[in-house]
Structure 1
Amino acid sequence: MSTTTLLVRRDRLDQTRIVETPDLPLADGQVRVRIDRFALTSNNITYAAFGEAMNYWKFFPTAQEGWGVVPVWGFADVVQSLHPGLAAGERLYGYWPMADHAVLEPSRLSVAGFSDAAAHRRELHGVYNQYLRCSADPFYSADSEDVQALLRPLFTTSWLIDDFLADNAFFGADTMLLSSASSKTGYGTANQLAQRSGLQVVGLTSARHKAFCQRLGCYSKVLAYEELDQLPSDLHAVYVDFAGNAGLRRDIHRRFPKLGYSCSVGGTHVDQLGGGKDLAGPRPVLFFAPAQVKKRQGDWGAAELGRRLAQDWQRLLARVGNPDAPWLAAVHHDGAAAVQAAYAQVLAGQGDPALGHILSLSRS
């Protein structure tokens, strides 16, 4: 028995290879899972782009020097267990390698889920080490697995960005500028912000995605990047950067001298990533979602945070799945060649924002 994995060259994200590695016998306390399906979005490209700085390459290490495994979110089934608390056949949601199998070392089991206590993950952030049992997950429904895989981790980030900004009184601003407005994290954030009174939410996007963003109905205004000068320069604004485009960031910092905060979230424009040196106004700050999770767990407790997330998730799910005007349709890519091609497409940023990519290396 072997495991099929997609490897990505760490310093050249456009270079990939498929590898087969023989499976080692399980040790006591371990489980082997078959990864059934996972989503691939610009969020995963961000994991790769910040792989060194944010330790994303460390979650699923590989013995091949210079190559890494991009983490993804999705569903898997336990196929072999040497752990007394988990049986074969149990379905799990969590953070996986781009592979068809994985081995976990469950600890701190509860009705809801468990943590992976593998030695190499103990120093990594605990949010990414949590695995949920679908049988007890309030977010879960079998008929919405594709949407969950595509939007759930992005929704959580969107929800936390909105919560972080509200927690800081929006840094005195009344206008939120969101780049990469067609991205799932972008419009998820806009959907949350749109429920706040007194805020203008402006989506910035490419000209070809402008109509899509307008159809969503969660932006007060949508502008193509080259239309930035249509906004008055005296806005009290916050910039939430999902694109990582250094040129756009520089233009926004220069145009809006009353910019109250510059929040860097992702990097969909991998070839244009840049730092915050020599910028006018506030220095960009990288948003780290687990830090806001930790704060709110302290403020409210984990149960209350989960309740609020689940409540707003159901509201988003209703909008995304509205049969009269759906926001998203899933496209499946099964098998090694299809997964490799889908990765190249998402990396290039040329996809249709109305489509979501669901991948599987265990199906063909």
Structure 2
Amino acid sequence: MSTIDLLVRKDQLSTTELRRSEDVALNTGEIRVRIDKFALTANNITYAAFGDAMHYWSFFPVSASDGAIFGRIPVWGFGTVLESQHPEVTVGEKLYGYYPMSSSVVLTPTRLSLSGFDDGAEHRAGLHSVYNRYLRCNSDPFYSSDTEETQALLRPLFVTSWLIDDFMEDNNYFGAKAEGGPPAVMLLSSASSKTAYGTAFQMAQREGIEVVGLTSEGNVAFCESLGCYHRVLTYEQLDQISADSPCVYVDFAGNAGLRLAIHTRFTQLKYSCAIGGTHVTQLGGGKDLPGPKATLFFAPAQIKKRSGEWGGEELGRRLVQAWRAFVAITANPEAPWMTVDYHQGSASVAAAYKQVLAGGNDPRLGYILSLN
């Protein structure tokens, strides 16, 4: 048997290479998982854009000979156990979790329970546990066999969205929301992206908040159709918001020019939250900006905080409840927020990756890929 990997050049994300390698025998305690399907979204492009700074390249390293040049982008999806040298994991088990853009992967299950296990591979020991956890679908409260594609595409993004909203509420919107004062303006860039509109969906349920989606002219109609933004503006229409509005910038685009424009215009900008980098060709640092420092949001830190305060079971209950409400809206057959676009096979997966990297694709499309 052999494994196919889609490798991406770390310093030139448009350069890819499909590589096939022969599978080696498993060691005791290891399992081999066939990666049945995975989602590809702007979030995965963010993983690549921040791969070094946030250690995303470290989860599925490439061989030492060219690992400094190429990497495997992590994705979320479903897999099936093909081989097992672990006594507590059986062949045929279906797993949800963090995978490389590959046809299969070898994992070393540790901390096993009825719900799942961690990958105990040595190179992942220092990486955040949220990404190392694999869930057994037969006991996962999120799982439903008829919505696997929706789960792969939206679940990890929605968890981040939920945590961003919770983080803002937890910090009282950093002073932008004052009792008796005007609504706090939440500026969300890349408003057509799935993580952004998931965040807007949550924030729109809060009182005293105006959620403003910022997007390109071509995506205005789509963003307005979702109904989760109070206003949708193009990036050129910042002047339609009062310069002294108390506001928070939630940056999914990573566009350096847009960030500077927002920091320069809004005199009551209370917080600048960096989430992603969907505008790959316009990324830039946040030094020497007027107003607050642009601060990177790290979802696992908020998970850790809330797990400590509420307990893991209560956190899970709240997430599942919010997830079900979100899916009921996004998967409504009469007006779906997303349609699935399937790509199978090496050439098709590589082409889909370049489409997502380039941006400008239909925001209603959700890419589900398989190298098998």
TM-score tier (shorter) = over 0.9
Give 2:265's aligned residue. Answer: 255
Q: How does 1:32-43 map to 2 (within 5 A)?
A: 32-43=32-43
2:316 to 301, 306, 311: 306
Q: How does 1:84-233 map to 2 (within 5 A)?
A: 84-173=87-176, 174-233=184-243
Distance 2:6 2:33 in 1: 17
| Amino acid of the structure 1 residue aligned with 2:196 | G
Give 1:78's aligned residue. Answer: 81
Give 1:19's aligned residue. Answer: 19
1:360 maps to 2:360? no
Give 1:237's aligned residue. Answer: 247
| Amino acid of the structure 1 residue aligned with 2:225 | R
Structural RMSD (CA): 0.6
| Amino acid of the structure 2 residue aligned with 1:58 | S
Distance 2:292 2:286 in 1: 9
1:351 maps to 2:361? yes
Residue 149 of structure 1 deviates from its aligned partner by 0.3
Give 1:289's aligned residue. Answer: 299
2:352 to 342, 345, 360: 342
Residue 172 of structure 1 deviates from its aligned partner by 1.6
- SS at structure 2 position matched to 1:12: coil
Residue 288 of structure 1 deviates from its aligned partner by 0.4
Residue 324 of structure 1 deviates from its aligned partner by 1.5
Residue 25 of structure 1 deviates from its aligned partner by 0.4
Residue 194 of structure 1 deviates from its aligned partner by 0.4
| Amino acid of the structure 2 residue aligned with 1:30 | E
The percentage of aligned residue pairs carrying the same residue is: 63
Give 2:62's aligned residue. Answer: 62
Q: Deviations over 1:75-113 (max 9, x none)?
A: 000011111111011000000000000000001111110
Residue 271 of structure 1 deviates from its aligned partner by 1.2
Write out the 4+ residue segments of structure 1 that deviate beyond 6 Å after TM superposition.
Answer: none
Q: Deviations over 1:246-265 (max 9, x none)?
A: 00000000110100000000
Q: Deviations over 1:114-160 (max 9, x none)?
A: 00000000011110000000000000001100000000000010000
- SS at structure 1 position matched to 2:324: helix
Unaligned runs of 5+ in 1: none
Residue 184 of structure 1 deviates from its aligned partner by 0.1
Residue 268 of structure 1 deviates from its aligned partner by 0.4
Q: Deviations over 1:265-314 (max 9, x none)?
A: 00001111111112110010000001001100101011111110000000
